[in-house]
A and B are shown apart, each in its own frame.
Chain A
């Protein structure tokens, strides 16, 4: 399904980033980092007053030649980015949405862990497993 899944902190540094191991990891880092500009643009596009009712799912951030980048921002401004292969046409907006929802739930679990220090990179095995499940389906 996804080829790269990333969780970015409010301050825009990566909390978690994982890509399909066979591909160029560096490229995904760049892609995700660059997508943050679009995320910020989309967030700021929504008015301040509307910020509370803002939908978390941002939709397609931008398409590149090979990939589609989708974004999702939690209320605490933690960003989720999912990169999907452009050739994968089976993925509809709804599937992406549900992937983000799953990601968000799992992330919430990580945050609820009293031993997790907010702001640290995520090293939860459960989270890892969930992410791999989302990536594995692609292959």
Chain B
């Protein structure tokens, strides 16, 4: 139970006060009417006595009466309330009115109660309950079984202006007597037969003659005694005079309530007979009438309240009234009571002796048969048992009541106790219950507490009232008293149980009482020593429910709100939703739509566990309420809770949406919102951009470089304000998520933004695009476009949209939602409301400094705050005839169109690609007239530049030779030029004017490996007008090329041991030697149906030193056709060319291109595109060497410094060099392909780089072993052992060659010794000086020499020591001597060589030449 303003003693005392009736003459009434009051009202504020009174009890003990209050009422002769158990309708209306007018003060002080982990804000007091209780107790009808609210005395009031006041007094006195004794009226009830009559002469000071009044008073004193009459002088102030005087108005607080009470009571009496009320109370007609009346009274009351009370009374008059009451009580009332107590006591005492015992005795004897007859069934009727008013059993009760009223509780208790016994023995249950109740109360009120409070008395009383007597009214009174007493004794649990018991029955008419009692019970729970928070909350909800049933919406809302504090955020979502829903409902009906909206919003935003039909109902309610709110105030669009916006997933795209294909044209893919963000790809693009920016800035990446980001999302770097270009749209993609199970409809979605002007002052106007999204339980995207027309700073703030639900379809949904809508207005289906939601993006969590690591702080995210910059050029790139599938190495010509769609000229167009070997724009410097410029005339034309071979010439006979420098193909900047794939695009005048477009041819070459290749292009361009905020722009393009296998070319180079035979060969050429090149071509195409055959059209070579000389295939093999899975072999002789270093271009080495055409036309391989692809594909051999080896060697040389092996690197390279060839073979082929029943000739080229003699090179480089698992190594790797040139390598230093006649005829008969001259040619392959030892001695152990039958001997010097300079050729003349005819192997000379300056090294045996057989024929 909540705290009360009154203490429990005050409360109980005030509940039972002496009642005084008032009978007023009309003139006296007129006098008081001047003050807008009647007589009883006039007295009411002064009814509490401030001074102590004294009286003597029957034992002559002085009893102090403290703080007594009396109740003065006009005599109303008709019963206000029927004495039945249930409260009348009028009373109910009154009570409900009282409760609803008493509301918690706005912003009143609330207690904060902490219980466990709950902090509850609860209003400590419940004034509405106290008001209810007070009104309830006051409106208790007078009952027959108790006398507490029977009138003890009657004030007879007569005005002094009356002609004959004494007569009037007589008349009034007679009337009082008539009322009490005639038996005409059951109401009011009188305490004692001889009621105290107190004569009051009311004198109006402003009107009447004071002397006359005094004389009349004197007369009265004579007649009634000084103790029985009083002269009350009032109205000493004239209305006019007192205008400026401020007089306190003590009536206002009393009259408000009392007038209400009287008014409604009187009116209810006027309308119908009260006995009929209960029976006809439910008919709507009378209800309406009553209601109308109640409204009327209210209006009347309000009007009356408006007029001030006591306008004619001065403070003196107030004192006089107070004096009068005091006089009346102490002189009149108390003595009267004292006298009566004494009388009753005497009666009882006298009876106690005989009659009391006699009574019981007679009862035993005569009425003995009566008791057993009263079976339990009959017991219930005993409530109807009525003692006659003067029955002796009632006398003791009467005395007890009197004692109680004058606060003599001890005596009262003993009397009640006695009475109780009597009544119980008589089975007069109603009387007994009354006695029990009062016995308990008086026991409680006894000071000093000689006996404990008998709580069981109360329980019995309540039970009896309720169950036996069926008098809920009394039961309720009893419960209220008992609960208050229990509360004061801190027995909250008992109090709560008691209160809840009173509410347990579910009868429709006692909702208000139940609600109030439940609320008090809830307060009991929270006030317990261990506060029971949850019980509190639950009972609050029950109370709220009953309040709402009783129509007390405000109280209901309050209860729910208090209960909410307990349920909020504790995981009891079902209950929480229910409370929120109810709060929303109640708030809405109470016209607090903001609260309603927030409550509903809570239901919807919490991840709801409700069924979908329930959710749909919630949503509809919410929308309806929301609509009403927005209808009222449309100042700012309110925030909508639904759907959720996943703001971190918001993506922002700068630029136009692209059309990917436009007829034949295929636009650059660039970036689009449909692409997923890929971190690796983003890094790749960033690298590409860095490369191209570096190349645009002469190899240096500027410090301010920022990769262009066209599409911002949560993973991109959003620390800077993104740059957007004026007149180019900004597309914002917002991700919505619908947490509900019901669909939501969004419409008219648009962006909210703020724009700050900068630099320019053109009229600002930005169009907002809109989109329609429909989401259902999952994520949905909406893309919104914004087109800036002006430069400045743009901030995108949020979204504005209409939210609606779809009309529900299922019948069950409708019914369930209808069930919920008990009282609320049902919103129309599909209501839509307009609201906004802000887009707030939290940046990434900072994790750099220690402070950031320990705290949770987030960086900024400026995705939605683009800076609008002045116009920039905008490039569109279209591709024409761009293939999707190619054979490996296939050359295809396509066209690319560059189009400047902006109003600003662009320049500095460059392209960078992940696969620079895939395409070429041709070499601009060669100024070759390009093949047909327009793609239409291109059909069936070779991509290559060709020359028809002279008809007479044999194919493949002699190679045409061209010298070309690599610089001509845009790759001039040393080796590094090719490694970054940046190519400048040869625009005509380097500038693309606004609106201009240009087409350029583009050659493509199929990748060398089969499979699908992703090829990325990045086009870079700048504005011709410098100084903008954006330094450059880029355009991305990604193509996927499917490459299928074509040919596999393997090539081997062999040292040719034969010296050139032809005399025409130049000396130096001969000296440089020649090489055999074997080219193995295999058709590995798997598409047998499509590709019919391959022709090897031409084999070209490209090298700095070597060139293909001629084809040495057998003649019939020259036309090389390869069907599926066929393999062909081509042999070529290659020769070393003149060194070209000596020419003018010293720094740039020239490449020699040699073309050996096998068909009837020569393809000029040294021009675009063949050479382009050659250079793009094939970086100079130096850089192609495994970089690891170079590195390790470098490290070694560094670490070993000038150690003994310091020259090892030198040595190795020297040795290696002599085996190097550095010759690139380009195989140009034609494929005959059937496509759509048409034969198409495809062309292509494959490259093979020969590096080392004897080592096979292949066009298909072996795929690198995918390093799936790399062992983690924690120790540094041991440096590989120092590499010395291997024996193998060293054995290739010197090339030996024997020259001798193939057969030699010798007449052995004539001359037994045959001498044959043999020339041994030694050529130094290396670039160093080499010491050579030639040993001619036979080695018998050599297995080769054994094979040969017979033997021969070298003549002359058997060992030569020679020194050969670099690449020197030396001939050593030898002579061999044979003894017999036969076949001999001359290849026995062993040659040892070592590098001249490596003293420590041994000579290495050089590779022996193949067996050199000579036939010696006996010439007979």
Which residues of A come within 8 Å of B, CB atoms? 9, 11-14, 25-26, 29-30, 33-38, 40-41, 44, 65
Contact = CB atoms under 8 A, between A and B. Distances in A.
Interface in B553-585: 567, 570-572, 574-575, 578
A12 B570 contact: yes
Contacts of B571: 9, 13-14
A65 B504 CA distance: 9
Nearest to A13: B571
A9 B533 CA distance: 17
B572 A14 contact: yes
Contact of B572 (A29, A38, A40, A65): A29
Contacts of A44: 530
B530 A33 contact: no
Contacts of A41: 530, 532
A25 B538 contact: no
16 contacts: A13-B570, A13-B571, A29-B572, A30-B538, A33-B534, A33-B538, A33-B567, A33-B572, A34-B534, A34-B538, A37-B525, A37-B532, A37-B534, A37-B535, A40-B530, A41-B532
Chain B residues touching A, majority SS: helix
Nearest to B506: A65
B541 interface: yes
Interface string B565-607: 0010011101100100000000000000000000000000000
Given A13-B572, A26-B575, A30-B541, 6 more contacts: A25-B574, A33-B567, A33-B572, A37-B532, A37-B533, A65-B504
B116 interface: yes
Contacts of B541: 30
Q: Interface centre among B117, B530, B575, by most A CB within 10 Å? A: B575
A81 to B, nearest CB: 12
B296 to A, nearest CB: 42
Contacts of B538: 30, 33-34
- The list of the 7 closest CB pairs from A to B, nearest first, reads A13-B571, A37-B532, A34-B538, A37-B534, A37-B535, A29-B574, A29-B575
Given A13-B572, A14-B572, A34-B538, A26 B578 contact: yes
Nearest to A32: B572
B652 to A, nearest CB: 36
Nearest to A12: B570
Interface in B482-538: 504, 525, 530, 532-535, 537-538
A14 B572 CA distance: 7
Contacts of B570: 12-13
B497 to A, nearest CB: 11
B490 to A, nearest CB: 16
A20 to B, nearest CB: 15
Interface of B: 116-117, 504, 525, 530, 532-535, 537-538, 541, 567, 570-572, 574-575, 578
A12 to B, nearest CB: 7
B1318 to A, nearest CB: 88
A93 to B, nearest CB: 24
Given A34-B538, A37-B532, A40-B530, A26 B574 contact: yes
A44 B530 CA distance: 9
Contacts of B530: 40-41, 44
B1063 to A, nearest CB: 90
Contacts of B574: 25-26, 29
B511 to A, nearest CB: 18
B1180 to A, nearest CB: 60
Contacts of A9: 571
B572 A34 contact: no
A34 B532 CA distance: 9
B568 to A, nearest CB: 12
Contacts of A30: 538, 541, 575
Contacts of A33: 534, 537-538, 567, 572, 575
Nearest to B533: A37
Nearest to A9: B571
A26 to B, nearest CB: 5
Q: Interface centre among B117, B533, B570, B571, by most A CB within 10 Å? A: B571
Contacts of A65: 504
B570 to A, nearest CB: 5
A44 B116 CA distance: 12
Contacts of B504: 65
Nearest to B575: A29
Nearest to A121: B571
B661 to A, nearest CB: 49
A121 to B, nearest CB: 9
A14 B541 CA distance: 19
B576 to A, nearest CB: 9
A45 B26 CA distance: 69
B117 to A, nearest CB: 8
Nearest to B578: A26
Nearest to B576: A29
Nearest to A45: B530
Nearest to B532: A37
Nearest to A25: B574
Contacts of B537: 33-34
B47 to A, nearest CB: 44
Contacts of A29: 572, 574-575
A44 B504 CA distance: 29
A79 to B, nearest CB: 12
A68 to B, nearest CB: 17
Contact of A34 (B116, B117, B535, B578): B535
Contacts of A36: 534
Contacts of A26: 574-575, 578
Nearest to B504: A65
A38 B533 CA distance: 10
Q: Interface centre among B525, B534, B574, by most A CB within 10 Å? A: B534
Contacts of B578: 26
B624 to A, nearest CB: 22
Nearest to B611: A25
Nearest to A31: B538
Contacts of A14: 571-572
Nearest to A44: B530
Contacts of A25: 574
Nearest to B574: A29
B542 to A, nearest CB: 9
A10 B538 CA distance: 20
Nearest to B570: A13
A40 to B, nearest CB: 7
A84 B939 CA distance: 89
B315 to A, nearest CB: 55
A26 B532 CA distance: 20
Nearest to A41: B530
Contacts of A38: 532
A55 to B, nearest CB: 20
A100 B1171 CA distance: 87
Contacts of A37: 525, 532-535
Nearest to A39: B534
A36 to B, nearest CB: 5
B522 to A, nearest CB: 11
A26 B578 CA distance: 8
Nearest to B571: A13
B318 to A, nearest CB: 53
B617 to A, nearest CB: 14
A25 B537 CA distance: 18
A103 to B, nearest CB: 19
A75 B674 CA distance: 55
A79 B537 CA distance: 20
A88 to B, nearest CB: 21
A103 B504 CA distance: 33
A37 B575 CA distance: 16
Q: Interface centre among A25, A33, A38, A40, by most B CB within 10 Å? A: A33
Q: Interface centre among B504, B530, B572, by most A CB within 10 Å? A: B572
Nearest to A34: B538
A122 to B, nearest CB: 13
Contacts of A13: 570-572
B142 to A, nearest CB: 36
